[in-house]
């Protein structure tokens, strides 16, 4: 083994596990949860939790006893949180950070990331279903029903910008909009629909129907405790950041060419801005019923997504030839 090979592999490991991989992602996700809870508290005229609250919650849960209900399918019950966490952390590696030429990208990573972001919802369904508790099973069924509602508008709204940029790679999309920032203005409609769809994906108010604590206790998570619950909470935190990073990369192409420190700061600000918008939405709205949610997604959000695709197609047709250079 030559030194170059060893160095490359070590750097790969560092990239995946430390920065900007797993460790940075977890740290930033916990900080984002703090921002979310603190802002939510301030909007309710409360003081809110201290900055270390999400970390304390995770450590406490990790140190607690872990129980499996007698009727549950133990293997599925244990696998669900692990797979969800792994899929979310993997998706993050393919999303551009503060520069568009990141280490891992290929033509088609957009589809991979969207697929990886669907995996947690499916595993929440499986985990809840195999818990064999009434509340978990209702929550699991609702999670999947909700998945079919928000997924289509989300995909349509990301398809539009991808068509305009003529690529299936998020990094190349970011690079394209970095060169042509004016084109990003065409995608404002998509940005709005994406934020709504992200609320549905993260199962947050007003779309927290699958875990509605006033109706079905805690939905799919009802029977989870200890380490497994810590993993599930961490997955949702991570999903928030990955979703925000995806939105920032596709719709907010600012500061990508900046030097490392400034670019990093702009990147964090963009992600926190998305998190704050989600928080304000959850603070000012109440929970919808599942049928209202599906109506909203299929009758309003999905047509808007189609409109976004049409806008991008028309713009692409009228743009001068050679705009891709």
Partner 1 sequence: MSLVKRVVLWARQKSPWVLHFNTGACNACDIEIIAALTPRYDLERFGVQLKGTPRHADVLLCSGPVTHQIKDRLVRIYEQMAEPKFVVAIGTCACSGGVFQGCYNVESGIDQVLPVAAYIPGCPASPAAILDGVVKLLASLDPANAPKAEEAPKAEDPAVPA
Which residues in 123-182 contact partner 1 (CB under 8 A)?
A: 135
Stretch that binds partner 1, among 37-45, 174-182, 200-208, 281-289 (CB under 8 A): 37-45
**For residue 69, what is the DSSP state?**
-
Cβ neighbors of 96 (< 8 A, separation 6 or more) are: 102, 105, 170, 171, 174, 249, 256
Contact pick of 24, 35, 49, 118 for partner 1 (by CB under 8 A): 49
Contact pick of 222, 235, 240, 308 for partner 1 (by CB under 8 A): 222
Stretch that binds partner 1, among 5-13, 38-46, 161-169, 184-192 (CB under 8 A): 38-46
Site string for partner 1, 227-266 (x = CB under 8 A): --x-------------------------------------
User: Got the DSSP string for 5-20?
Assistant: HHHHHHHHHHHHHTSS
Please identify, using beta-carbon distances, which residue of 53 and 118 lies nearer to partner 1: 53
The closest alpha carbon to 250, from 178, 149, 299, belongs to: 178
71 lies in the binding site for partner 1 (CB under 8 A): no
Q: How many chain residues are in contact with partner 1, going by CB under 8 A?
A: 32
Contact pick of 183, 224, 251, 267 for partner 1 (by CB under 8 A): 224
Cβ neighbors of 109 (< 8 A, separation 6 or more) are: 94, 168, 169, 170, 171
Please identify, using beta-carbon distances, which residue of 52 and 115 lies nearer to partner 1: 52
Query: How many of the other CB atoms lie within 10 Å of CB of 88?
Result: 26
User: Between the CA of residue 268 and those of 31, 91, 138, 217, what are the distances in Å?
Assistant: 11, 18, 37, 34
Stretch that binds partner 1, among 59-67, 70-78, 109-117, 190-198 (CB under 8 A): 59-67
User: Got the DSSP string for 213-228?
Assistant: HHHHTTGGGTT--HHH
| Sites of contact with partner 1 (CB under 8 A) | 37, 41, 44-50, 52-53, 55-57, 59-60, 63-67, 135, 213, 217-218, 221-226, 229
């Amino acid at each position: 083994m030559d030194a170059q090979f060893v160095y490359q592999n070590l750097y790969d490991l560092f990239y995946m596990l430390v920065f900007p991989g797993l460790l940075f992602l977890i740290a930033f996700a916990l900080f984002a949860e703090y921002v979310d809870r603190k802002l939510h508290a301030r909007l309710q005229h409360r003081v809110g939790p201290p900055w270390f609250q999400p970390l304390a919650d995770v450590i406490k849960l990790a140190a607690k006893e872990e129980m499996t209900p007698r009727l549950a399918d133990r293997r599925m019950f244990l696998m669900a949180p692990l797979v969800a966490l792994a899929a979310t952390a993997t998706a993050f590696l393919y999303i551009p950070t503060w520069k568009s030429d990141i280490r891992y990208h290929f033509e088609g990573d957009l589809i991979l990331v969207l697929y990886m972001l669907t995996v947690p919802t499916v595993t929440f369904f499986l985990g809840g279903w195999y818990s064999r508790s009434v509340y978990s099973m209702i929550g699991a069924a609702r999670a999947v029903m909700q998945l079919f509602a928000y997924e289509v508008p989300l995909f349509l709204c990301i398809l539009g910008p991808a068509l305009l940029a003529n690529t299936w790679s998020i990094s190349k999309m970011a690079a394209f909009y970095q060169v042509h920032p004016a084109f990003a203005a065409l995608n404002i409609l998509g940005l709005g629909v994406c934020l709504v769809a992200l609320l549905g994906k993260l199962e947050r108010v007003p779309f927290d129907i699958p875990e509605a604590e006033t109706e079905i206790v805690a939905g799919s998570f009802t029977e989870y405790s200890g380490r497994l619950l810590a993993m599930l909470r961490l997955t949702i935190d991570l999903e928030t950041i990955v979703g925000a990073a995806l939105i920032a990369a596709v719709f907010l192409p600012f500061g990508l060419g900046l030097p490392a420190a400034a670019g990093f700061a702009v990147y964090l600000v963009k992600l926190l801005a998305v998190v704050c918008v989600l928080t304000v939405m959850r603070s000012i709205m109440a929970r919808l019923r599942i049928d209202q949610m599906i109506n909203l997604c299929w009758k309003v959000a999905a047509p808007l997504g189609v409109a976004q695709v049409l806008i991008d197609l028309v713009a692409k047709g009228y743009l001068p030839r050679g705009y891709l250079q």
